[in-house]
Amino acid sequence: MERKKYVIIMAAGSGTRMGAGMPKQFLELDGKAILHRTIEVFLEACPGISVVTVLPQDHIGYWREYCLDHNFICPQILVPGGITRFHSVRNALARVPEGALVAVHDGVRPLLTVKFAKEMFDKAEGVDGLIPVTPCTDTIKVLEKNGDVLSAMPGASADRSVLYGAQTPQVFRSEVLKSAYAMAYDTAFTDDASVVEKYGKSLSYVIGERLNIKITTQEDLVLARAVLSVR
């Protein structure tokens, strides 16, 4: 039997790198909040999906009002975030049952396509976890920083041919992700894949979408507008 689908939308960050007055997930991108666009992709890709949106505690009221004002009426479970992304995911997983297929996606990645979101769920049936990655195209330098000065780290190098950047949505069997997130927090946990790997499960990987960027800076916002203008 097909598993019920959930998506956890991570939007509890404070977004300080953007330098805007409010967290970047609420900034407008062509007339709609970034977070609004992100959630819409999953609703279109998987009708009937359950959406768990993780928000800063002090923005839950703001988001409720935004949805009403913009007639964005979709059932969402609103969950307050935690001190780190790990703690935010853990809060959200308390609202996801075992036996489901759960995607965890950054609220600030609105440019993934509907086709890709659907494919991620389709391909995740039958594996413990599926992670989208993009091959590294830049040459990578391993450097150390002394004040403002960068210099080569003696003996350190990185072979570009084996390096990939991890994206979201990362999709898991919910019982696997819930058990992995019951472990103690570790600063090495930078995404969900790193948590599940430490828990001892092997993961599957697929090539993600180059334009599925995480909107972090003003430049990313300019790029996102350009992408939307040609779609």
Interface residues with ligand C5P (CB under 6 A)?
A: 10-13, 25, 54, 81-82, 84-85, 88, 106-108
Residue 151: CB minimum distance to ligand C5P, A? 27
Nearer to ligand C5P, 15 or 129 (CB): 15
Residue 176: CB minimum distance to ligand C5P, A? 20
Residue 194: CB minimum distance to ligand C5P, A? 12
Please state the φ and ψ torsions of residue 7, each to the nearest 5 degrees.
Answer: -130, 130
Residue 13: CB minimum distance to ligand C5P, A? 3
Nearer to ligand C5P, 14 or 204 (CB): 14
Residue 47: CB minimum distance to ligand C5P, A? 24
Per-residue DSSP letters for 21-53?
SS-GGGSEETTEEHHHHHHHHHHHHSTT-EEEE
Nearer to ligand C5P, 46 or 213 (CB): 213
Nearer to ligand C5P, 12 or 171 (CB): 12
For 92, the enclosing helix (H) or strand (E) is helix 85-93
Nearer to ligand C5P, 5 or 90 (CB): 90
Q: What is the Rg, in whole angstroms, of the alpha carbon atoms belonging to the chain?
A: 18
Between strands 28-29 and 170-173, the pairing is: unpaired
Question: Smallest Cα–Cα separation from 79: which of 17, 6, 21?
Answer: 6
Residue 18: CB minimum distance to ligand C5P, A? 10
Residue with smallest beta-carbon separation from ligand C5P? 13
> 89: helix, coil or strand?
helix
Please state the φ and ψ torsions of residue 77, each to the nearest 5 degrees.
Answer: -90, 115
CA distance 106 to 7: 10
Q: How far is CA 40 from the centre of its chain?
A: 14
Nearer to ligand C5P, 157 or 190 (CB): 190
